[in-house]
Structure 1
Amino acid sequence: MHKQSTIQGHAAALRIANFDTDQVMPKQFLRGIDKSGLAAGLFYDLRFDENGKPKPDFFLNQSAYASTDVLIAGPNYGCGSSREHAVWGMQQFGFKAVIASSFAEIFYSNAMGNGLLLIVLSDDQVQALMKEADDEGAPIPIDIDIENLTVRTQQHELKFTMSVRHHRMFLEGLDVIGLTLKYKSQIESFAQSHWEKQPWVKDVARKTVDRLTA
């Protein structure tokens, strides 16, 4: 992850509630053993017809929406299976953030842990942003101040919240492991104290293997 205190982008609306991860990243694109090449599968059934030809009526296939990198989505975005590929695909396609009134819990954790910013606003606020985008007929300029937790467009200035943990991860460019390592000295101190009080639990797995293979 890299440090992010602001995101300046262009937002468009996807007015579909309960948009699940199979719609975000269909199962046929989960065959690879790494993260590469997932942009091709993003929103595949919306972007392409049964012959693999782009659907001209889908907004991301229109030249006017080529700059879209922030999605304003319907409620319960990212429900369904827990595939992390959905997050990776959105990032590879160029998305920096998603705004919705609610997200599926596992998708939320996957996204925030990978540096894809998810912003929760009230349904009325989301609808207002969607209307602004629809009225424009093109992606609307949007500024997201992560440090001060504010979303700004030409017509709106909205506050949002996130956990202290996620806030720190974005501002300092930390993934979950990186954040955990910030507490390395405390973890080591606790472990040492724990082993001193209960020495029989230290390295119990290694000691068991040594005993069995002696």
Structure 2
Amino acid sequence: MMKAFTRETSTAIAIPGVNCDTDQIIPGRFLKADRAQGYGQFLFHDIRRDEHGEIDPSFPLNRPGADAATILLVEDNFGCGSSREGAVYALVDHGVRAVIGPSFGDIFFNNALKNGLVPVRLAAEHCEALADYLTRFPAAEVSVDLEAAELVLPGHLGIHPIAIDHFARDCILGGLDEIEMTFTFMEQITAFEKDRMASHSWLDR
């Protein structure tokens, strides 16, 4: 079940790389794994390791305390490439609640919304300013306030609007997928069908 999201406040980890595609987020060979065991263990599997397959301590998510962050700052065109939903599963299973970046792959963006991961589009200059701030103040916190539709950045970096489709936003706020959200309207649906059958009785023949 999707986890409800209203406001998330956390340190943020900057992930380097323009055009970080879904195969970098989770290599395709891991998609046969049982999701019940969690895809978080495969997140950025190859790019967080060196040429010998060993954990690279310089990769942002490998640094002490980084695993506690629930917000990522990414670069342009994050999540491009194949349409694998497993890329979103890997982020969600790792505990990531929101991803901030200048732009996202279209399919990744929509998959994120359907799985309770909030993708926040933020102008490139503001992303660069945030990345610089986090370099100087790694303990700084960022707030993604979905209820208020606001991204609250640390220091002097200000507050920025979050633009997300209203239906998707309502689903995520309630922790409901599209089918579960539809069920919340069952009373109205039942009333509509009753009125429709009363005015179009021939439909029941």
In the alignment, the residues of structure 2 paired with residue 95 and residue 109 of structure 1 have an alpha-carbon distance, to the nearest angstrom, of 16
**Other-structure match for 1:212:** none
2:167 aligned partner: 165
CA distance in 1, matches of 2:51, 2:201: 65
Unpaired runs of 5+ in structure 2? none
Distance (Å, rounded) in 1 between the aligned partners of 2:28 and 2:162: 33
The TM-score with structure 1 as length reference comes to: 0.82
**Distance in 1 between residues matched to 2:4 and 2:172, nearest whole Å:** 6
Letter in 2 for 1:144: V
Distance 1:2 1:65 in 2: 21
CA distance, structure 2, for counterparts of residue 71 and residue 42 of structure 1: 12
Structure 2 CA distance for partners of 1:133 and 1:181, relative to 1, 3 Å: same
Residue identity over aligned pairs, in percent, reads 30
- Structure 1 unaligned segments of length 5 or more: list them: 203-214
Q: Alignment RMSD, CA only?
A: 2.5
Shift of 1:153: 2.9
Determine the structure 2 residue equivalent to 1:23. 24
The 2-side partners of 1:82 and 1:182 are apart by 29
Rg comparison, structure with higher value: 1
Count of equivalent residues: 200
Tell me how far 1:29 sits from its aligned partner.
0.7
> Could you tell me how far apart the structure 2 residues matched to 1:127 and 1:23 are?
22
2:123 aligns with 122
| 1:3-152 alignment runs, 5 A limit | 3-136=4-137, 138-152=138-152
TM-score scaled by length of structure 2: 0.85
Measured at CA, do residues 129 and 177 of structure 1 come closer, stay the same or move farther in structure 2, by a change above 3 Å?
Answer: same
Question: Which deviations, in whole Å up to 9, do the C-alpha atoms of 1:3-52 show, x marking residues without a partner?
Answer: 22110111021231111100000011111243423122110111123443
